[in-house]
Amino acid sequence: MTREASGAAADKVGRRSGAMVAERQHAKPAARSGVMADEDGDSDKFEEEEWDDDAQSQRGGARQSRQAKWGDCFMILMYIFETYLDIRQHRALKLPTLPKPLVGVISGEKFERSRAYSLDKSKFHFIHEAVTILMDTTILYYRVLPWVWKKSGELATNAGLNAENEILHTLAFLAGVMIWSQITDLPFSLYSTFVIEAKHGFNKQTIWLFIRDMIKGILLSILLGPPIVAAIIIIVQNGGSYLAIYLWGFMFALSLVMMTIYPIVIAPLFNKFTPLPEGVLREKIEKLAASLSFPLKKLFVVDGSTRSSHSNAYMYGFFKNKRIVLYDTLIQQCSSEDEIVSVIAHELGHWKLNHTVYSFVAVQLLMFLQFGGYTLVRNSKDLFESFGFEDQPVIIGLIIFQADAFAKNLGYAPQLRAALVKLQEENLSAMNTDPCLQAPMLSLSTPSSPPPPLPPRRATTAPTPVSLLRGAADRRDAPLTSALHAALLKSGALDRTQPLTASNSLLHAYLQCGLLSDALRLLDEMPRRDAATCASLVSALCRLGAPLDAIRAYMDMLTQDADDEDGGLRPNEFTAAALLQACGLAKVARLGRMVHGHLVTSGFCCDPFVVGSLVNTYAKVGDVVSAEKLLLGMDSRDVVSWTAQLSGCVLNGMLAEALKVFVMMLEDNVLPNNVTMLSVIQACSLMGESGLFSSLHALVVRLGLENDVSVVNSLIIMYAKNGFVEVATGLFEDLYLRRGDVCPNSDVLSALLFGCTVSGSLKYGKGIHAHLIKMNDLPSISIENSLMGMYARFEQVDAAYVVFKGMQIKDIVSWNTMISCLAKSDHVDEALELFSILHGGDGLVPDFVTVLSVVQACSNAGLLQQGQMLHGYIIKSGSLYDVSICNALISMYAKLGRIDFSEQIFEQMDIKDIVSWNSMINAYGIHGDGLSSLRIFNELQDDGTCSPNAITFVSVISACSHSGLVSEGYRCFQSMKNDYGIEPSMDHYASVVDLLGRSGRFAEAEQFIRNMPVHPNSSIWGPLLAACSLYGNIDLAEKAAIELSILEPESDIWRVSLSNVYAVVGRWKDSAKIRTEMKRVGLKKEAGWSFVDVGGVEGFKFVAADTRHGDSEQIYAVLRSMNKHMADVAGDVHQSSLVSVIS
């Protein structure tokens, strides 16, 4: 792919350069000869020749105009023909189905991505070609090239140079052409790289890296161009009849020089080449090269991922000095070493079958023929006049033919007959080809006769025990592994004198099959071990979740082999990486530092691979500072090392530090990958940095990761958990609903439903539920539970129950969610029925959450007997008797009138938290026993295990308010801030106002409200208005009502209270006026009701003057008797107050 692109680019540049570059011919024009003759005295001859010159110039100008038009027509016809072929190919790319040979080989998702990528490139190609033909036609028609030639000569003259010097004049001309080409090609290069390639996830370079590469290329052209151009001009000027031979010889030598210095000098200016580390991959490649007698000297990995995610591999070098280069993207994209080796095998096939030699000879022969053709036409004046030149420059025809040769040279290797599927998918290669283009393409990739087979390799023709062991390991075939073990023992392949390849392969197979005991037995029997042995064992133990055992095994091998003749175990960088992986999984920082020290003494801390693993280990164990020191100390930091540091920060909750690392990574010109973005998005999500959400989203699109399912999932989770449900559901629809070939996972659905629940977006939640029903796919119980929780939050009891009934499998969370939903929605009977079903079932048993929900339901519904029965069940179960349930029981019994039971539970509790103390204080307050509330408060202060919180003081002050303990309550309010540093909230201020108002101390209440540091709300004025109705304080009541009318203009509560105040003081007209106004505006006071447990079987709700109960006469008789008794004890004043309140 890289060579094809380079060849196409070279072809285009060559054709345009051939139409633009010019050099002057040896012979001077006739007019100049006339001037020289005139200097000898023949002036008449000069005048005659000058007159003839003018006539010839006019005739020549007309001929040149006609020829330029013919040249334009030819270029336009060629453009139309090529565009016709491009349109056919564009239609082929739009086909929605795969070619038959690729059906079942290429996934549908990859095909759609490849199709989109190819169509985008095709559309861009149309625009680029149209602009190019327009510029070239304009240049040719308006004779721009001669004008540039003339201006370059003037520029050389102005610079003090000799414009008659062919070399200087040509260099000035080429400089102008290069500047023009850079300016016109730059917008297309930028769009291709940063729009198309970035959109589809290939571009990895920043704008600064792009500019830096462009500057390097220009400097190389300036450095290498002048000597080459000068040499060609000199050869053309002096070549004579043997010009073609001289030109071919020069270009042949130049090709050899460039092929030699490019990978050694030029390529490292743009990419970093590092030796392929020792390990399984290197061993396999070297073994393959040796079997083919390929003289491999060096193996390199190039950091192609810094610029693009396209993958490639190539070889270079002469004679016995061959090198192979792998792109790091190729290593990342291939899932196994064997896939990478197969690509190398393909490249070595070209070498073994002499494809490179044949291609090189063919290119040289073609080049020689082209130079020969050039020598025949270079003296044709008509040819050069068609480009607008009166003279015949030397360079012009030469470069147009050379460009084709160079383009073929760059793409000389035959195309892959059957490319690896993975590389085809990852590089989004075009799948469909138009028949008009398919035949010539196949002619380049398919020979007319089958190629000769590779020479047989005895080592790999028949299966060997080692290759069989690798197959058994891949398939995890334990019986085959055991059988091969027996065969190896019989053959003596496991003897001390034999290489460790068989032993290590057998060990690896046992470990892959999960036969750890057999593997350890084999390890004990091995006479020797090497780094591969150690790395296999350590990695396997880490994979089995035993990192500490992995480290212990490594140290044991290191100690046991220390006395061997060859010096024992010598760890390599892969052993070190496996060991560091174990430390990271163990999450023991001290152990990681010990291993670090061991690696320093072993001499591995200069290896970038090991340093990157150290960064990852320190980050995982929480020592982010050490990880950062190692990272910043690396000579070259790649995306893997930066991502390891960033992920470690997120893993350890250092979210701000993670974002700082991300910024440093971008400043280091390292582009993030999908793993990096997952960690960054998670950090921003946990921090709630909503201002960064859109920037991160834009960066994901900029990196071409908008189709990466894991990245988009993380964006959905980030938006949903932070309340941006509309954006999250939009992404969800784009990824899942419209494509339809990807199923959402539980994390995404849980986050979306959580976001809908907390943000009040029931509409979006129903949409997600509808999608799941349509897909007939509820991924997990947790999603169904989340759906129930969402419906419960919006009091959609019926919808929640539909989900509950439709669940095939229910866990305890499902039961708890449904019971809690029913209890909070006043469906107490249904909640108790579900609890009975759960309790009587054979599988699940209620947990403390279940019991807590039922206790609160009994408390809210006033079901004392059911509450007592539940209390008995709790005691009997034993395991449910924890602090939270005891607290709920205290509140339940207090609310149901059995304060004695509350006291008993409180006293029997061995462990009390602050909620326990607050519940007991509040229980006494409900029953009007403020002194007991103060007693419990004092015990809390003396106990010392808990410290009072804000809720404690609300309960104490409220208890004092209901008991008339004004001084004590106000003292508690002052102690809250002075002794405990708790800032009063509006609830505390409201409790104090209620305390003063109930005791009739209205002046102090008004003064307290004026001194409040916050503006009073309805919770302040409401209690004050209610207190005024007890004492008939009409002035203050009206003032409070005015404030409430501003704060809550639609409320009926303050209107009813004010009406009651008017009734207490006898202002019946004003009271009636308020109630008439309430009817006029449509406000209706909801009747107060009470609930009583009748016989412990069913509850009865009743209102004032209610006669619906069958025993209502006896009930009212008891009420009248109680009223008479209270009147006798408390007097008429309190009786009238009671009547006014009841009414």
What are the 10-residue block averages of pLDDT along the chain, 1143 residues in total?
35 35 34 34 38 41 48 66 76 71 62 76 82 77 75 74 70 76 82 79 75 82 80 76 78 79 76 75 78 76 69 69 76 68 72 69 76 61 47 38 32 32 52 51 37 39 64 77 77 63 77 77 71 71 71 67 52 65 67 69 65 76 77 80 86 87 88 90 89 88 86 90 87 73 75 84 84 72 87 88 88 91 87 88 82 89 88 81 89 92 92 93 93 94 89 94 91 91 92 91 91 89 86 86 83 78 80 74 54 54 64 78 71 38 31
pLDDT at 405: 34
- Please count the residues of the chain: 1143
Name the token pair of 694: 């859109």
Can you tell me the distance from the alpha carbon of 286 to that of 322, in angstroms, rounded to the nearest whole number?
12
Helix (H) / strand (E) containing 1098? strand 1098-1103
Can you tell me the distance from the alpha carbon of 339 to that of 910, in angstroms, rounded to the nearest whole number?
66
pLDDT at 105: 57
815: nearest Cα among 776, 794, 841, 793 = 841
**Based on the number of CB atoms within 10 Å of its own CB, is 422 exposed (0-12), middle (13-18) or buried (19 or more)?**
middle
Can you tell me the distance from the alpha carbon of 267 to that of 260, in angstroms, rounded to the nearest whole number?
11
HSE at residue 53, side-chain half, CA atoms within 13 A, is 14
CA angle 643, 649, 652 (to 5 degrees): 135
Strand-by-strand arrangement of the 322-327 sheet: 273-275, 296-302, 322-327, 313-316
Under a CB-based contact definition with an 8 Å cutoff, are residues 430 and 114 in contact? yes
Name the token pair of 1104: 């004032």
**Based on the number of CB atoms within 10 Å of its own CB, is 181 exposed (0-12), middle (13-18) or buried (19 or more)?**
middle
Name the token pair of 349: 């096939």
- Residues belonging to the binding site for Zn(2+) are 346, 350
Name the token pair of 1128: 């006798």
| Torsion angles phi and psi, residue 1083, rounded to 5 | -90, 135
Helix (H) / strand (E) containing 266? none
Under a CB-based contact definition with an 8 Å cutoff, are residues 933 and 921 in contact? yes
Q: Which residue type occupies 1032?
A: G
Q: Which residue type occupies 500?
A: L
**Based on the number of CB atoms within 10 Å of its own CB, is 777 exposed (0-12), middle (13-18) or buried (19 or more)?**
exposed
63: nearest Cα among 340, 388, 299, 344 = 388
Q: Convert 423-464 into a string of H (helix), E (strand) and C (coil).
A: HHHHCCCCCCCCHHHHHHHHHHHCCCCCCCCCCCCHHHHCCC
List residues with catalytic annotation.
347, 404
CA 826 to chain centre: 44
What residues does 1099 pair with on adjacent strands?
1093
Name the token pair of 633: 């100390």
What residues does 1090 pair with on adjacent strands?
1102
pLDDT at 1108: 64
Identify how many contiguous H helices and E strands the chain contains and give both numbers.
57, 6
Name the token pair of 375: 């020598």
Can you tell me the distance from the alpha carbon of 614 to that of 632, in angstroms, rounded to the nearest whole number?
12
What residues does 203 pair with on adjacent strands?
308
**Based on the number of CB atoms within 10 Å of its own CB, is 72 exposed (0-12), middle (13-18) or buried (19 or more)?**
middle
279: region left, alpha or beta (phi > 0 left; psi from -120 to 50 alpha)? left
**Based on the number of CB atoms within 10 Å of its own CB, is 304 exposed (0-12), middle (13-18) or buried (19 or more)?**
buried
Can you tell me the distance from the alpha carbon of 504 to that of 441, in angstroms, rounded to the nearest whole number?
46
Q: Which residue type occupies 252?
A: F
Can you tell me the distance from the alpha carbon of 1137 to that of 998, in angstroms, rounded to the nearest whole number?
13
Is the torsion defined by CA of 442, 443, 449, 454 positive or negative?
negative
Q: Which residue type occupies 721?
A: K
Return the axis-axis angle of helices 166-191 and 2-20, rounded to nearest 10°. Answer: 130
Provide the 8-state DSSP code for 569: -
| Torsion angles phi and psi, residue 426, rounded to 5 | -65, -35
- Residues belonging to the binding site are 346, 350
Under a CB-based contact definition with an 8 Å cutoff, are residues 46 and 34 in contact? yes
Residue owning tokens 């229910």 = 810
Can you tell me the distance from the alpha carbon of 1004 to that of 986, in angstroms, rounded to the nearest whole number?
18
Q: What is the pLDDT of residues 465-521, one digit of tens each?
A: 667 777 777 777 778 877 877 777 777 766 655 566 777 777 778 777 877 777 777
Q: Say which residues have a Cβ less than 8 Å from residue 584's Cβ, sequence separation at least 6.
A: 547, 592, 616, 617, 620, 621
Distances (CA, A) of 513 to 552, 747, 853: 22, 32, 49
End-to-end CA distance of the chain: 91
**SS3 label, residue 847:** coil
Name the token pair of 977: 């801030």
pLDDT at 149: 73
pTM: 0.49
**Based on the number of CB atoms within 10 Å of its own CB, is 348 exposed (0-12), middle (13-18) or buried (19 or more)?**
buried
Under a CB-based contact definition with an 8 Å cutoff, are residues 661 and 646 in contact? yes
pLDDT at 558: 64
Under a CB-based contact definition with an 8 Å cutoff, are residues 973 and 984 in contact? yes
Can you tell me the distance from the alpha carbon of 919 to that of 937, in angstroms, rounded to the nearest whole number?
11
Helix (H) / strand (E) containing 1046? helix 1034-1047
| Torsion angles phi and psi, residue 28, rounded to 5 | -85, 155
Q: Which residue type occupies 784?
A: E
Can you tell me the distance from the alpha carbon of 782 to that of 797, in angstroms, rounded to the nearest whole number?
18
Under a CB-based contact definition with an 8 Å cutoff, are residues 167 and 233 in contact? yes
Can you tell me the distance from the alpha carbon of 383 to that of 377, in angstroms, rounded to the nearest whole number?
8
**SS3 label, residue 899:** helix
Under a CB-based contact definition with an 8 Å cutoff, are residues 449 and 139 in contact? no
